[in-house]
Amino acid sequence: MVQRIEIDHSRFKQIVRGAIRRDLKRHIANGAMIARQGAKSVSIPLPEIRLPRFTFGGEGRGGVGQGKGKPGDPIPGDPQQGEPGEAGEEAGEHALEVEVTLEELAKILGEELALPRIQPKGQRTLASEVSRYTGIRRVGPESLRHFKRTFRRALKREIAMGGFGGKGGVIVPIRDDKRYRAWKPRTLPQSNAVIVYMMDVSGSMGDEQKEIVRVEAFWLDTWLKSQYRHLETRYIVHDAEAKEVDQHTFFHLRESGGTKISSAYELCNQIIDRHYPPVDWNIYPFHFSDGDNWSGGDTARCLRLLKETVLPKVNVFCYGQVRSTYGSGQFKNDLDAAFPDDESVITSDIPDKDGIMASIRAFLGKGR
Amino acid sequence: MTLPPELAAEERRIREVAAGYGLDFFQTVFEMVDWKEMNTVAAYGGFPIRYPHWRFGMSYDQLSKGHAYGLHRIYELVINNDPCYAYLLKGNSLVDQKLVMSHVFGHCDFFKNNLWFAPTNRRMVDELASHATRVARHVERQGFSEVESFLDSCLVLENLIDIYALYAPKKARPKPQSAEEEEAPQRAPVRFGAKGYMDRFINPPEFLDEQQKKIDEEKQRPTRFPERPERDVLLFLLEHALLKPWQRDILGMVRDEAYYFAPQMLTKIMNEGWASFWHSRIMTRDILAPSEIVDYAERHAGAMVVQPGRVNPYKIGIELFRDIEERWDKGRFGKEYDECDDRERKRKWDTGLGLGRPKLFEVRRIHNDVTFIDAFLTPEFCDDHQLFTYDFNPKTGRKEISGRGFHQVKAKLLRSLANAGQPVIEVADANFLNRGELVLRHRHDGEDLNPGYAQETLRHLQRLWGRPVHVETVMEGRKRRFSFDGKENESSDL
């Protein structure tokens, strides 16, 4: 028998999904969501889900508290602290924030865009580590301190030293008394995927273009993470030269050189060869640019590189062309002409933020 | 699942100790549940069965996530019913289970004996199960979304009840007047019977004239509907809104449940304080083994923890009860004590009166949070427990401590407890502008309503009433009316 609460619970989740879905375009275009990158879940404010009622207005309300302090002191732990400018604005509008795991979000995205599940490659699996608390040790962070054991050690010591006569008093543990929980790693098998993001950071890519890339990369990441338990990401930026960077740099860097796309593809190929043998890894290179390449000669080089080295190793190669005022947008045409029927090359045009959904659908809709 | 034998033995021991102290409870049934079952029961407000609604799913969702992230854990859950049902979490340590059981007996005693709980339905488990069945039947006939969205609207209005009506004699509803009665001879001022020569004194003519004038005036006045403001808005809607029978049934259930839970809102501090007072006494004096003291102390301290800027009902409650016990044991009350202004003498005051225990039981019998704080919060207590008031300072944009004065603290605390922390809202006029529009009035006593919520709430009220609805209140010192006519929200100054 299905438990009653499960019916209520799934109805609630259905309502949440409905609310997110209705506004998916806005949520997707919302760059703030990406601030949570790396977290397991995001909170989405869903004011339409709460049940309102006649109630007292929020901020102006005083109250009674307990603790130290003199008049004029701020209340410790008051979340409004430190942002005097905004405090009055949102009086009492504590919108219901729903914690949604990225997996759930990706699922909603998948349903809305009708994305197929990507078939895992699964020839071989690699191991990953999980930690479990199993024992006690003498060093560790305070957050893992074992209260009872520490207290017992301290008490024993005090008594042994004759400092504690059983009549009361304060037990203060010293360093030697402290005990901490200890953990052991365990390995779990997993299937693997790597995304290689490549971005053109030449002078023609402005902040707006980068923002679009950033948001799109986040959602690609989220979807692919829901498909694979372990996802690695590598970041390459290029103008006339390519280099590998970390995530933060990838999204913030601004260069202003010429553009040689082949440099990025070469580096991408090297990274794959060095770290990700295609037998074990699902490989997804994504390249974003405004479509302006330095010369026709370089474009030809790019096409050759793709055909001969990159494409045989990867699941799919995706090229997203962000529209910009300065770019010619020629590169996409060249790609389309060179691989007219090749399913492993997907190109898409992203005119603005609202085009992100369509672009994601183009990239992931094939389910490779 | 019933208790395993070692817990059953502890339960018997604790029950006997509790009864020995004079606690008097309904039969109390403990159930062992795993955390999933615990979250389920907690989402349903402690009951095994409720009508289907997503908000239970929502609290279940929050509870489960909180549990998964290790943010919180429910230790005790007990419901006011005869027998009382209480839940113990499987896998808790023995000392935790003993603590919970002691605490639960405190609650059960309170449910049974506190006067404010007297009108509650002690068969609420059955009642709620029957509500669930009835709602399920309506769902079958009317369709799921129809019933769900109507329930949403009822729940939005759930707090518009007259909490204290539970304790007033039932109002006799005037019978509908027949045509004959309406034609009845005009009312005349009452004349007392008197001998002729006394009549002038017993029924003075000036007084009779005045009465006559009042009656005439009353006749002139257009009849209002309702005649007097009605605090029980849900009752008014039940009786006068144009609802279908199934809608009336659901609204009635929501109202019954709101009244059932109301006394718990009225006695939060007392109820938790009382239960904590007794678990602390029973555990430390009778039940704990020496090896369990540390675990017990840690758990107890966890429940009593004071977060800055907030009042923990457990903490304030237990300390007030302890204070009362000490004061009545040592005779620290009455004229002589109050008039003594020698601090040192007061601190050592002890007449050996020994009335602490009986006083405690008297207090738990007759008080609710408001009267409890009013009668027993003392300046010394405020000092000892570092109570302060705080206010929002618009200049700095943060909440700041505003003072530690006894009267200030007491006034603020009482205000937050009055009407169980809910705004007082009544039906003022159900035939506004002679167009059948409904006007609610917020009895403003210094605190403004949240305007955004008020507007949204009106949308739900309008669904039930059918005609345009309004609420009159005061915003930032100015009288203001929020309205919803079925299409748009409006607000205007009065």
Which chain B residues are within 8 Å of A51, Cβ to Cβ? 55, 152, 155-156
pTM for this prediction = 0.74
Q: Work out the minimum CA distance from A89 to partner chain B, whole angstroms.
A: 10
pLDDT of residue B279: 96
Q: Are residues B351 and B405 located together in one domain of the fold?
A: yes
How long a stretch of residues is chain A? 368
Whether residues A66 and B451 touch (CB distance < 8 A) is answered with no
Query: B468-488, pLDDT tens digit by residue?
Result: 999 999 988 899 999 999 999
Name the amino acid, one letter, at A12.
F
- Closest partner residue to A15 (CB to CB) among B50, B54, B413 is B54
Domains of chain B: total: 3
Q: Are residues A5 and A142 located together in one domain of the fold?
A: no
Long-range CB contacts (< 8 A, 24+ apart) of A249-258?
A250/A197, A250/A199, A251/A210, A251/A213, A251/A214, A252/A210, A253/A201, A254/A201, A254/A205, A254/A207, A254/A210, A255/A201, A255/A202, A255/A203, A256/A202, A256/A203, A257/A202, A257/A203, A258/A202, A258/A294
pLDDT along chain B (494 residues), means of 10: 88 96 95 91 92 92 79 82 93 92 96 95 94 95 94 95 84 56 61 81 85 79 80 94 95 95 94 96 94 92 83 93 95 88 86 92 96 94 91 82 91 90 93 92 89 92 95 91 93 88
Write the DSSP assignment of A80-96 as a string of letters.
TTT-TTTTTTTTT----
Q: Are residues B412 and B461 located together in one domain of the fold?
A: no
Q: Are residues A174 and A43 located together in one domain of the fold?
A: no
Q: Are residues A177 and A254 located together in one domain of the fold?
A: no
Q: Is residue A132 part of a domain?
A: yes
Whether residues A67 and B309 touch (CB distance < 8 A) is answered with yes
- A331 contacts A299 by C-beta, under 8 angstroms: yes
Q: Are residues A358 and A220 located together in one domain of the fold?
A: yes
Domain boundary at B276, B299, B322, which?
Answer: B299
Q: Are residues B369 and B344 located together in one domain of the fold?
A: yes
Closest A-chain CA to B295: A148
Q: Is residue A84 part of a domain?
A: no
Q: Is residue B451 part of a domain?
A: yes
Q: Is residue B129 part of a domain?
A: no
Give me the phi and psi of B398, to 5 degrees please.
Answer: -145, 170
Whether residues B397 and A72 touch (CB distance < 8 A) is answered with no
- Closest partner residue to A73 (CB to CB) among B55, B400, B456 is B400
Which chain A residues are within 8 Å of B160, Cβ to Cβ? 54
Whether residues A56 and B298 touch (CB distance < 8 A) is answered with no
- B384 contacts A66 by C-beta, under 8 angstroms: no
Q: Are residues B355 and B379 located together in one domain of the fold?
A: yes
Q: Are residues B397 and B464 located together in one domain of the fold?
A: no
Scanning B297-356 for CB atoms below 8 A from A yields 298, 306-312, 315-316
Closest A-chain CA to B60: A9
The dihedral built from the CA positions of residue A87, A89, A93 and A96, taken in this order, carries a sign that is: negative
Q: Are residues B69 and B84 located together in one domain of the fold?
A: yes
Q: Are residues B328 and B400 located together in one domain of the fold?
A: yes
Closest A-chain CA to B47: A5
Domain residues for the domain of B453 are: 422-493
Alpha-carbon span A48 to A52, nearest angstrom: 9
Domains of chain A: total: 3
- Closest partner residue to B454 (CB to CB) among A54, A78, A82 is A54
- B18 contacts B274 by C-beta, under 8 angstroms: no
Tell how strand A180-190 and strand B425-432 pair up.
unpaired
Q: Are residues B80 and B11 located together in one domain of the fold?
A: yes
Q: Is residue A78 part of a domain?
A: no
Q: Are residues B450 and B389 located together in one domain of the fold?
A: no
Domain residues for the domain of A98 are: 1-51+94-114
Q: Are residues A219 and A351 located together in one domain of the fold?
A: yes
Per-residue pLDDT of chain A (368 residues; tens, 9 = 90+): 457 889 999 998 888 888 888 877 777 776 666 555 555 667 777 766 778 899 887 555 678 888 888 888 887 665 443 333 333 323 333 456 677 777 777 778 777 777 766 666 655 555 556 778 888 888 888 888 888 899 889 888 888 887 766 566 778 888 888 999 988 877 665 667 788 999 888 777 777 887 888 788 878 877 777 777 677 888 988 888 888 888 777 777 767 777 888 888 889 999 988 988 888 788 889 998 888 777 778 888 888 888 888 888 888 888 988 887 766 778 888 888 888 877 788 888 888 888 888 888 888 776 66
Q: Is residue B212 part of a domain?
A: no
Q: Are residues A163 and A254 located together in one domain of the fold?
A: no
Residue in A6, A42, A64 to test binding to B, most B beta-carbons within 10 Å:
A64
Q: Is residue A349 part of a domain?
A: yes
Q: Are residues A208 and A334 located together in one domain of the fold?
A: yes
Q: Are residues A9 and A142 located together in one domain of the fold?
A: no
Q: Are residues A243 and A293 located together in one domain of the fold?
A: yes
Q: Are residues A233 and A202 located together in one domain of the fold?
A: yes
- Closest partner residue to B311 (CB to CB) among A65, A78, A99 is A65
Whether residues A87 and B52 touch (CB distance < 8 A) is answered with no
- At B127 the three-state DSSP class reads helix
HEC states along A185-229? Answer: EEEEEECEEEEEEEEECCCCCCHHHHHHHHHHHHHHHHHHHHHCC
Residue A285 belongs to a domain with what CATH number?
A: 3.40.50.410
pLDDT of residue B222: 66
Domain boundary at B418, B447, B462, which?
Answer: B418
Q: Are residues A164 and A241 located together in one domain of the fold?
A: no
B483 strand-pairing partners = B470, B490
B31 strand-pairing partners = B87
Q: Are residues B32 and B12 located together in one domain of the fold?
A: yes
Q: Are residues B369 and B291 located together in one domain of the fold?
A: no
Tell how strand B398-403 and strand B387-393 pair up.
antiparallel
Complex confidence, ipTM: 0.84
Q: Is residue A280 part of a domain?
A: yes
Q: Is residue B376 part of a domain?
A: yes
Q: Is residue A222 part of a domain?
A: yes
Q: Are residues A274 and A245 located together in one domain of the fold?
A: yes
How long a stretch of residues is chain B? 494
Q: Are residues B394 and B465 located together in one domain of the fold?
A: no
